[in-house]
Amino acid sequence: MEKYSETTTLVVDIGNTNITCGIYQQDEMVRFARFYSSAHRTADEYFSLLIPLLNTESLNNINSIVIGSVVPELMRIWMHLFQKYFSAEVWEINALSPLGISYKVDDPSFIGADLIANAFGALKKYDSDCIIIDLGTATTIQFITKEGSFEGTAIAPGLKVSADALFERAALLSQIEIVPPSVLLGTNTRDALLSGIVNGHAYMLECYIQQIKTHYADCQKIITILTGGIADLVSPLVPSVDIVDKTITLDGFYLAYKTIRH
């Protein structure tokens, strides 16, 4: 791996299922890593997972670390990791960060850091009223106006979480690989499951998009952004999706850091 430039930032997004990490140089992500979240791993074990992303020669070249988390226990582990292995300043992004976003609640501290990053990333990257759909452990559907008003969020069970719950509780249904469905109505168990699981989730998203656009009809242009690990699987089935942006969360954390740093 080539050595990093003088301005190198490590961004870490801690979720319930995955932890994603990005290395940013000159405002661009140049490295990316993803691994499973586990509260049973130590700081040393997580650092070993970072080695493909960071070699020992580059540690001192990282001058800033940005982190957001929805798992407090993992946040403590990662803060210990940073203290032990890095000398860079650490910036935590959450709903209390001074980003110029307004909320419809007096105390927005309960809002997940990933939602804040998605909203801020959408504002900075697309400069429009935005619906952001994040397909993760949960599927989140949020709306933020061009003026920075965080209008709210809908949270639904994620596609894979729903599928796993179905397989666990239905004795006659075996777990299958989640792939794009080939038919609307299946004539065998596999096709029927794929249509219900994948098409069903996609139809729910399409309906939500249309309902939000109707509710906010005064907005001149609303763009819909899809993100998350399975965004490429779902996006062809949701006609109203305008953009698939699988780095918007990490980008949002990075852009938030740049805003509050100055």
Average pLDDT, integer, range 83-104: 94
Which positions are annotated as active-site residues? 114
Give the pLDDT confidence of 161-203 residue by residue, as tens digits.
888 888 887 766 667 788 899 999 999 988 999 999 999 999 9
Which residues are paired to 112 by β-bridges?
A: none
Q: Tell me if 8-92 shares its fold with 102-246.
A: yes
Average pLDDT over residues 246-252: 97
Exposed, middle or buried, 26 (CB in 10 Å: 0-12/13-18/19+)?
exposed
In this prediction, residue 4 has a pLDDT band, given cuts at 50, 70 and 90, of very low
Q: What is the mean pLDDT of the chain?
A: 91
pLDDT band at 241 (very low <50, low <70, confident <90, very high): very high
C-beta separation of 222 from 128 below 8 A: yes
Indicate the domain borders of the chain: 8-92, 102-246
pLDDT score at 106 = 87
Q: Per residue in 34-86, pLDDT tens?
A: 999 999 999 999 999 998 888 655 677 899 999 999 999 999 999 999 999 99
Q: Which of 211, 196, 199 is nearest to 237 (CA)?
A: 199
Measure the CA–CA gap between 67 and 154, rounded to whole angstroms. 24
The CB density around residue 148, as the number of other CB atoms within 10 Å, is: 14
Question: Which residue type occupies 240?
Answer: S
7 compared with 6, residue with greater pLDDT = 7
102-246: what fold? Nucleotidyltransferase; domain 5 (3.30.420)
pTM (global) more than 0.75: yes
Residue 3, pLDDT > 50, answer no
Q: What's the first-to-final CA gap in the chain, in angstroms?
A: 31
Report the CATH fold assignment for 8-92. Nucleotidyltransferase; domain 5 (3.30.420)
Averaged pLDDT for residues 145-167: 93
Q: What is the pLDDT of residues 197-214, one digit of tens each?
A: 999 999 999 999 999 999
